[in-house]
Amino acid sequence: MTKVYGLTADLLPLGDLADDLQFPIETMGVMDLPTFVRGRQTVTLGLWSRYRASQDASPSGRSTGIEVVSGLPRSLLDIFARIQTAEVDALFLTWPGDVGDVPHCHLWEAYRVAGILMGRRLRQCLAGGDYMVARPRPDSPSTEPLMARLMAALDALCETRLRPRFSHILATNSILYPYTAARLEASVLRRRPDWVEELRRFVKLCDPYAMTANVHTLDEMLDEALERGDDAYDIDEQARRRNTEVAIF
């Protein structure tokens, strides 16, 4: 597919594509984002950032609104595309949000906070486990307050399932990413076993994915991290050892 759409080229004329071709490009861009697929066997190609850069060069500029496959605002995905960079904490913290139904707003908040945690973990991993690389800036929240925010957002999202006017909204199907981010914070969870039980309750609401083989493998790795109390648990390496790739978006 990358060859079909010319995605291996340095410059992408994607801004001139017809609307029905924008969708597959965006979908591949989301799938290519760092941390959205764990145990990835190939390097990411930076498709989302290059796609958005090509839109910047087009007369109509960048698309706004919600990306269909992930259910996330494109402006939030722009930040996830930069998750390997040092400034991403500030970008997530200052993201202004978008307009949506109540469940979606809770979901986006969960992703925003999860992105901070995942970004710190990724940068530490890329630096060979050097905690100083991923250490929060003085003006950035530490892990435990972020975990509290993440738990609150997921709890609020799951509570919306009880309201009839939101029964048609399937936002809880998209919680694997924030769920994974929370479950990887082993030290915090060992101090807060009640949060572990709550997270397990949340993920059971993730229909129809909660009972799939991929989620079983994911939970196996997350339980292993918790049992070890290992905040530096490399879930990508562990997934590769199991010869699997797990999409969590």
CB 159 within 8 A of CB 91: no
Q: How confident is the model at residue 128 (pLDDT cuts 50, 70, 90)?
A: confident
Average pLDDT on 33-46 reads: 92
Average pLDDT over the chain reads: 89
Instruction: For 246, list phi and psi in degrees, rounded to 5.
Output: -120, 115
- Tokens representing 120 are 């710190």
Position 18, amino acid: A
Distance CA 172, CA 204 (A): 10
* Count of C-beta atoms within a 10 Å radius of residue 21: 12
Q: Name residue, tokens 């959205």.
A: 36
More confident of the two residues 215 and 13:
215
- Model confidence at 95: pLDDT above 80: yes
pTM score, whole prediction: 0.91
Helical spans, DSSP H, in 72-210: 74-80, 88-93, 102-126, 131-134, 143-159, 176-183, 186-191, 193-203
> What is the arithmetic mean of pLDDT over 81-101?
96
Give the end-to-end CA distance of the chain in Å, rounded to a whole number.
20
Q: How confident is the model at residue 9 (pLDDT cuts 50, 70, 90)?
A: low
By the 10 Å C-beta count (0-12 exposed, 13-18 middle, 19+ buried), 220 is classed as exposed
79 — pLDDT class (breaks 50, 70, 90): very high
Distance CA 104, CA 169 (A): 8
Contact 23, 110 (CB under 8 A): no
Lowest mean pLDDT among 43-47, 134-138, 215-219, 231-235: 134-138
- Helix orientation angle between 176-183 and 143-159, rounded to the nearest 10 degrees: 140
Higher pLDDT, 9 or 207: 207
**Which helix (H) or strand (E) is 246 found in, with range?**
strand 246-247
15: pLDDT strictly greater than 90? no
Q: What is the pLDDT of residue 213?
A: 86
For position 11, what pLDDT does the model report? 42
Q: Minimal CA–CA distance to 192: which of 148, 154, 159? A: 148
The stretch 105-128 carries a mean pLDDT of: 94
List, for residues 142-167, the tens digit of each pLDDT value.
Answer: 999 999 999 999 999 999 998 999 99
- Alpha carbons 114 and 248: distance in angstroms, whole number: 12
Strand partners for 246: 38
71 pLDDT more than 90: yes
The rounded distance, in Å, linking the Cα atoms of 236 and 244 is 9
